[in-house]
Amino acid sequence: GAVVSQHPSWVICKSGTSVKIECRSLDFQATTMFWYRQFPKQSLMLMATSNEGSKATYEQGVEKDKFLINHASLTLSTLTVTSAHPEDSSFYICSARADRGREQFFGPGTRLTVL
């Protein structure tokens, strides 16, 4: 299957700082990318859907000003957690899809710990 990478794989930051997570499709062009959050021992919760060149669509309850998503190219989407707080500590996973109806490929995830 296609490969999706995430960087960094883990990050520790101080409360109040901003953290950027990158999601890249390595061998295909991703028209749509998805961002998920997973708290310990819980399922993946969809945060937002981003299409290349347009604004992201956020799920209900997700603050768009806190979780900034940029999908500037067909191979890269970024998630910036602004003014991170300990409650934002979580496992963030992205996925990428080439075209509607085609398979999504998941990245390995980024573990964020906010002190």
Indicate whether 59 belongs to the interface with other proteins (CB under 8 A): yes
Indicate whether 89 belongs to the interface with other proteins (CB under 8 A): no
Binding mask 2-41 for other proteins (x = CB under 8 A): --------------------------------x-x----x
Measured CA to CA, the distance from residue 99 to residue 87 in angstroms comes to 34
Indicate whether 75 belongs to the interface with other proteins (CB under 8 A): no
Indicate whether 111 belongs to the interface with other proteins (CB under 8 A): yes
Interface with other proteins in residues 90-109 (CB under 8 A): 91, 93, 95, 100-101, 103-104, 106-109
Name the nearest CA neighbour of 113 among 49, 17, 2, 4: 17
DSSP per position, 22-47: EEEESSS--SEEEEEEE-TTS-EEEE
Least Å from the CB of residue 108 to other proteins: 4
Instruction: Specify the DSSP class assigned to residue 4.
Output: E
Indicate whether 46 belongs to the interface with other proteins (CB under 8 A): yes
Instruction: Please give the structure tokens belonging to residue 13.
Output: 């930051």
Chain contacts with other proteins (rule: CB under 8 A):
1, 34, 36, 41-46, 49, 59-60, 91, 93, 95, 100-101, 103-104, 106-109, 111
